[in-house]
Structure 1
Amino acid sequence: MSNALLSSLYPQHLATLQARAAEALRRGGFDHLLIPSGTLHYQAFDDRDYPYAVNPQFKAWLPLTQAPGSWLLITPGQRPKLVFLQPHDYWHVVPEMPSGYWVEHFDIEVIRNADEVTRLLPSVFRCAILGEAQSALGSYVPNNPEPVLQYLEYHRAFKTPYEIEMMRRASRIGARAHRAAERAFRAGSSEFGIHLAYCQIAGQDANDLPYGNIVALNEHGAVLHYTHRDRLPPTPVRSFLIDAGASFGGYASDITRTYSAADDEFAAMIRAVDAAQLALCDQVRAGTNYARIHLDAHLRLAGVLREFGVLRTTPEDALASGVSSAFFPHGIGHGIGLQVHDVAGFAASDAGGSIAKPEGHPYLRLTRTLEPGMVVTIEPGIYFIDMLLDELKQKGLGDAVDWQRVEMFKPYGGIRIEDDVVCTDGEPINLTREAFAQG
């Protein structure tokens, strides 16, 4: 895949980050922004390390995701500096010298020992240091000043054209892997086998993927974050729900699809949820309150449940009474970018404050009004979860449900369909559907 487009988009992305950094530092009263890439963490009472995860504040600047012990120095009016740790080591693979379209924009200093970085950094007293506590090096201890973080995280919601292209490429990888997963499902593979097929085509394993794959057959689709992955397929196989993403240069895609093993009534319900999901994706427009999309999702999904004879009440009554939440218990989605659940979903402004969730909807992850450049997921779902259905009965709301129809659909687990959607000045861009259309 050519990097010519990324090379042309990157300078404007870097300029945007430098402008944001300058304003964040002004608000916090600092002269320099220091960002450690993060370090390896070792398990207690052991010499095994946890999987390394790069600091999101670090990979926002450059597509360098495997460089533990490195640091970025951002000083307004100067070229950004990368202090790159490339240790002498024969026990582990040493990170390769940085290369690619972005390196010409940085001053790069190579060090062989982590402690060497201190001679290349400015006085700690004028630095905003963004990172986790384990990244501390001598007096360079992450202080994560709130005015700086609030500003940077609020504006991280607005993706540059470079970032959208990075996410587009992550979506293409994810779509290809999803097609492989569906083929494995149709061929009779187990959850574990489907997971391996996905990882092989994505070219990414558990340490590369942006989150743990959810690969669920039959009733397991009713477990929202199911990651157990049975080694043998159930008998019979009725349904398949996969929630799995991919990474590209530090950016994530997040895609969910649901399939029925046969062209049956559950397959028809999947098609109905898919139609509702596309209508919700079309609401990702500038000026739209994201919480409104969430509430509209409840109405649309309750309409599907009524159409299929599961609900006896109207969509409006189902939403008002909380009945719809028993079948759709999570939020409609979240921001996405450098992290699958991107930051500042509730931020009222770049100076702090928060926007409350709608009452009775505690799991919504984003309440901001959409603006051009924001990228969000839209993931409506219908599930048949015993615990939540039992609660409906205990609350005296059982008459709103046809329990025979529930029993018919319970062996299928649930349905979730999720796309990554860009808000623009006009029609939204659905990165996921675009990726699937490319084959």
Structure 2
Amino acid sequence: MTDQTPASLYGRHIEVLQARAAVALERGGFDHLVVPSGNLHYQVFDDRDYPYAVNPQFKAWLPLTRNPGSWLVVTPGRRPKLVYLQPRDYWHVVPRAPSGAWVEHFDIVVVRTPDEAIPHLPPAHRSAVLGEPQSTLGEYAPNNPPAVVAYLEYHRAFKTPYEIAMMREATRIGVRAHRAAEAAFRQGLSEFDIHLAYCAAARQDANELPYGNIVALNEHGAVLHYTELDREAPAQSRSFLIDAGASHGGYACDITRTYSARGDEFQALVDAVDAAQQRMCAQVRSGTDYRRIHLDAHLALAGILREHGVLTVSPEAAVATGVSATFFPHGIGHGIGLQVHDVAGFAAADAGTETLAKPDGHPYLRLTRTLAPGMVVTIEPGIYFIDMLLDDLRAGPNAASVDWSRVDALRPYGGIRIEDDVACTDGEPLNLTREAFAVR
């Protein structure tokens, strides 16, 4: 059997990144790629730092996410160099000496102070320096050349086998935590306590997770990015929507599940959305326009609402009049990888000068590219009962498209969202999320 562990796949991953860097540098007219890992930021009028977030351009190469002050140097035709900051410090834990399967692929220089990195960096005027302004060190100020960034970000959509393996591990962690969260919901715990159960099962605290957990009971499921986390449990927990991910070596997973407290009509609606979502995941095929999946999702969800008596018009009419957007107001998903909402979602080509438009009337779609092998996307259809949008619909010309008594019956449950991370391949799509849930 072929070894498909991240360690065994890492060498080829670096080769791919080196080839991409060479083209990107040629496009921009530079000789070197210089990437700072990033620095700590401090809150204004205070000595508290914000949670550190590693530069995505840095962690694309290295599974290092807690190493501020380090630098990566890539020069075509040479072995990449890592300038690794390991300060002398008794206030904080000092990063361990470099170790792991990745080490053999880099020339590594250990420095004790940030300024010691300067002699190990190539000439600044011949370097594309990718990072945030706070990473400036001497004359090495990030210039983020558009041609270089556009090329690298466009091709980052195509994940290497190493990256798929890393995302698979992040997903395994996320699924374990989702199971713990569902168990906490079934026990009647509060949103805050469910969140704590999730973090404990993931073995990651809130700052290590790829995004803030959405843990929503009852009506809170109608708030798309609900992150308030009530400390007290409601008198009755009717429904539970959790949108939460996990991290592994710089890569993210993004998973959403919705549950009813009992086998009622809301659970039947959840089951219908789940079945439709799996059909949408099956559309993640090479050559498929992602916008098509989004538009098809509107028809499918409108059909479910019609079958469950919420809509009084055909799915086609609900989509044509915009009624479906009241119940499904966001996009079908986005690219995912080093970032939860991965970059270059609208890029028409790797020059970064042209974009692919969103469908008319669908402003919140985050990805408009045609799918190809290596791309990993989320598929996250939803049905929500959002007071603000429902009030607008009821006051407008299409109010008769809805059976408002059915809306009132379902409003206390908030909403439904089902989300999987799906990789496009040369054949059948690879659903990383369902794969992980299938393992007990």
**Smaller-chain TM-score range?**
over 0.9
Q: With structure 1 as the length reference, what TM-score do the two structures score?
A: 0.99
* Aligned-partner Cα distance in 1 for 2:15–2:365: 33
Q: C-alpha offsets along residues 343-401 of structure 1, whole Å, 9 cap, x if unaligned?
A: 00000000121000001000000000000000000000000001001111232110000
Whole-angstrom CA distance in 1 between matches of 2:408 and 2:238: 14
What's 1:96 paired with? 96
Partner of 1:373 in structure 2? 374
- TM-score, normalised to structure 2, is 0.99
Deviations 1:230-284 (A, max 9, x none): 0111111100000000000000000000000010000000000000000000000
SS at match of 2:90: coil
Partner of 2:268: 268
Secondary structure of 1:376's counterpart equals strand
1:192-249 CA-partner distances (Å, limit 9, x unpaired): 0000000001000111000000000000000000000001111111000000000000
CA RMSD of aligned residues (A): 0.8
> Which range is displaced more, 384-393 or 327-336?
384-393
Q: Which residue of structure 2 lines up, in the alignment, with residue 387 of structure 1?
A: 388
What SS class does the counterpart of residue 73 from structure 1 fall into? strand
Q: Give the equivalent residue in structure 2 for 1:406.
A: 407
Partner of 1:433: 434
- How do 1:19-418 residues align onto structure 2 when only pairs under 5 Å count? 19-352=19-352, 353-418=354-419
Q: Deviations over 1:98-131 (max 9, x none)?
A: 1100101100001110011111111100000000
Query: Is the 8 Å Cα contact of residues 4 and 165 (structure 2) preserved in structure 1?
Result: no
- Deviations 1:150-181, CA, capped at 9 Å, x for gaps: 10000000000000000000000000000000
Distance 2:98 2:433 in 1: 30
Question: What is the CA-CA distance between 1:4 and the residue it aligns to?
Answer: 7.6
- For 1:350 and 1:207, locate their aligned partners in 2 and report how far apart those are by CA, in whole Å: 32
What stretches of structure 1 of length at least 5 have no aligned partner?
A: none
CA distance in 1, matches of 2:377, 2:430: 11
Partner of 1:347, secondary structure, is coil
Give the Cα–Cα distance (whole angstroms) in 1 for the partners of residues 103 and 372 of structure 2.
31
Q: Deviation at 1:97?
A: 1.1
- Tell me the SS of whatever aligns to 2:348: strand
Distance 1:343 1:413 in 2: 30
2 CA distance for matches of 1:26 and 1:4? 32
After the TM superposition, which parts of structure 1 deviate over 2 Å for at least 4 consecutive aligned residues? none
Identity across the alignment (%): 73
Aligned residues: 437
